[in-house]
Amino acid sequence: MGRKEEKTVLCGANAYEKKYYFNHKFAGIPKSIQDELHIICVLFTEEIGGIFTIEFEEDGNVSMRTEYAPDDFLYDEIGSGLLVNEVRRKRQEMFESLRMYYRVFILHEDVDELLGEDE
């Protein structure tokens, strides 16, 4: 078996505790993007319930994860999958920018090489 891929939480919201978390390791992300992430996370948990996180995978890809307490009968499991897909579609450009940010500022990859990949 391969090793478990490490993920780094960028931000998340918890419907049970009514809290929002932003990882200050990523404080360099523009405030407007930080605000948009905050809105996405809070609205997700308001609509669906549970705990919602946006995470960076080791390679910089952005993933969304949702979980809920076993006794949470109000959690909308079907709506969760639909809303994750909708967020991914509507915010694709923002997630691509976050991926680039992670690869340049966290993984210290060469910007010129990364920009060349897209061509």
Residue 116: pLDDT band with limits 50, 70, 90: confident
pLDDT at 5: 72
- The structure tokens 């993920």 sit at 7
pLDDT tens per residue across span 60-104? 999 999 999 999 999 999 999 999 999 999 999 999 999 999 999
Does residue 118 carry a pLDDT above 70? no
User: Could you write out the DSSP letters of every residue in 45-69?
Assistant: HHHT-SEEEEEEETTS-EEEEEE--
pLDDT tens per residue across span 16-41? 999 999 999 999 999 999 999 999 99
